[in-house]
Amino acid sequence: MRRVYLDNAATSWPKSSAACEAAMAFVRDCGATAGRGVYTSGQVADRWLSNARRNLARLIGANNPQGLAICCSGTHALNAALHGVLHPGDRVVTTAIEHNSVLRPLNRLVEQLGIELVIAPCDAWGIVDIEQAAALVDSRTALLVVGHASNVTGAVQDLKRWSQLASQASARLLVDASQTLGYLPISVERDGIDMLAAAGHKGLRAMPGTGFLYASPDLHVAFQPLMSGGTGLQSETLDAGVTWPACVEVGNLNMAGVVSMAVAAEEAQNQLSRSPEPTSQPWLPPFQRLLEGLRGQVGLSIAGHPTGAGAPVHVPLVSVLVDDWDVHDFAAVLDTHFGIEARAGWHCAALVHQSLSPGVGDRSGGTSQLGYSGTLRLSTGHSTSIEEIEYTLDAFRQILG
Ligand SMILES: Cc1ncc(COP(=O)(O)O)c(C=O)c1O
């Protein structure tokens, strides 16, 4: 049976061939680690690490490549950021659209560090009203944390307004760009972003086990490490007092991942410079066809995808609910009968579901015979074809009539 992969929001497939080939060649022909030996192959590894920092910095509009620390996932980058800058008593304002990799560490830091956590609500599209968020920000607010795009609805937040809010409050802004990196342009300098965390294995199409954290230079000196260990620096002391980015990059790096991010970031940059507008991205037409087809399909409702003027910019993912079906059962039929791989459930985002479209409310409110068990999420990627979308829509018609 054919395979139609529609879970690119979890991790993309296929990955960039150039990134995979470069990573494979590095492991096969070099294999040394960075920041340790000064022998020849160690220098090759060092150069790849520099290339990765430089290309990722360019992709996110950062002037200083040294602001980039390599991580092993979006989750790692977010945890490093939160532990890096928060202190007891800090107030943190985040949003209901966040992934659990933001909400869970913050929730733990309430217990562990005594931070105060406040959560701004979102509307049925997954958009956070900036005025409502502003009402939660006060003089004790040290950090605002916002996801650039929801991994459940795909809606994109207006980062300029978030950075205005942060600077008015003299607070820092941490952006989770895990769902937008490689799909939409972003610039930390232009948009006034203090920290940006992202996965490398989603829209960027680098290898699994990749991510990074950007932090503006004024945050580096006092940055608190999440972990301690070998860094290749000051090895004769037990005092870990290491500097950025080594304080995030403890231990041997995933060099295959570093190489793949260097190559994938350059590819993504080239692509985005060819078509800088969100509406001219090559991944958009198949996704729009999917949305249009799902809207015309009887027996299902779309969560959080409005049309027409004023509709928010989005990334290529959509959540649906299927009448009289548990979404897990529906996903299983798509997979076993049609080879269509889509994801059912809560998508590691505990809070956003409460705000989705009326259909979601009805189900979670118990008016349906079936309890709410999350959404069916279909996420296209850079390689999804219109033909795959037509096949998918035909599968929906065969199942639902
Ligand atoms: C919005 C968002 N943030 C963070 C993450 C965590 O990324 P990773 O899976 O690389 O840890 C995800 C992953 O699904 C995500 O969708």
For residue 210 the two structure tokens come to 């990749």
User: According to the per-residue pLDDT averaged within each range, which of 234-238, 247-251, 354-358 is highest?
Assistant: 247-251
Verdict on whether the full-model pTM lies above 0.85: yes
Helix axis angle for 386-400 and 327-338, nearest 10°, is 120
d(CA 238, CA 15): 40
pLDDT, mean of residues 34-59: 96
pLDDT tens for each residue of 164-191:
999 999 999 999 999 999 999 999 999 9
Lowest-confidence segment of 105-119, 264-278, 338-352 by average pLDDT = 264-278
**Average pLDDT over the chain, rounded to an integer:** 93
Among 71, 75, 78, 175, the mutation site with the greatest number of ligand 1 atoms within 8 A of its Cβ is 75
Tell me if 206 sits within 8 A of 260, measured CB to CB.
yes
Cis status, amide bond into 121, omega within 30 of 0: no
DSSP element (H, E) containing 195: strand 195-199
Q: How many CB atoms lie within 10 A of CB 218?
A: 9
Q: How far apart are CA 59 and CA 188, in angstroms?
A: 10
Band the pLDDT of 229: cuts 50, 70, 90: confident
Per-residue pLDDT averaged across 10-15, rounded? 98
Pocket test for ligand 1, best of 79, 179, 213, 346 (most atoms within 8 A of CB): 179
Beta pairing class for 195-199 and 211-215: antiparallel
Q: Per-residue confidence at 367, pLDDT binned at 50, 70, 90? A: very low
Crossing angle of the two packed helices 255-274 and 40-59, in degrees rounded to 10: 30
pLDDT of residue 179: 98
Find, among 293, 271, 280, 274, the residue nearest to 387 by Cα: 293
Dihedral sign computed on CA atoms, order 21, 269, 211, 389? negative
Is the CB of 178 within 6 Å of ligand 1?
A: yes
Q: Is 199 in the pocket of ligand 1 (CB under 6 A)?
A: yes
What is the Å distance from ligand 1's center to 283 Cα?
A: 20
Q: Judge contact between 379 and 5, C-beta under 8 A.
A: no
Task: Give the 3-state secondary structure of 241-280.
Answer: CCCCCCCCCCCCCCHHHHHHHHHHHHHHHHHHHHCCCHHH
Q: Is the CB of 79 under 6 A from ligand 1?
A: no
For 74, list phi and psi in degrees, rounded to 5. -65, -40
149 Cα nearest atom in ligand 1: 1
Order of strands, edge to edge, in the sheet holding 343-345?
300-303, 317-322, 375-379, 343-345
Kindly report which listed range (60-69, 81-90, 202-211, 311-320) carries the lowest average pLDDT score: 311-320
How far does the centroid of ligand 1 lie from the alpha carbon of residue 151, in Å? 8
Element (H, E) at 340: strand 340-341
SS3 assignment, position 41: helix
Compute the distance from residue 44 Cα to the ligand 1 centre, in Å.
Answer: 30
Q: Measured from the CA of 347, which atom of ligand 1 is nearest?
A: 14
Tell me how far the alpha carbon of residue 287 lies from the centroid of ligand 1, in angstroms.
20
Tokens read off for 107: 């929730």
User: What is the pLDDT at residue 271?
Assistant: 94
**379 C-beta closer than 6 A to ligand 1:** no
Ligand 1 center from residue 233 Cα (angstroms):
30
Query: Residue 279: which residues within 8 A CB-CB, separation 6 or more?
Result: none
Cβ of 225 less than 6 Å from ligand 1: no
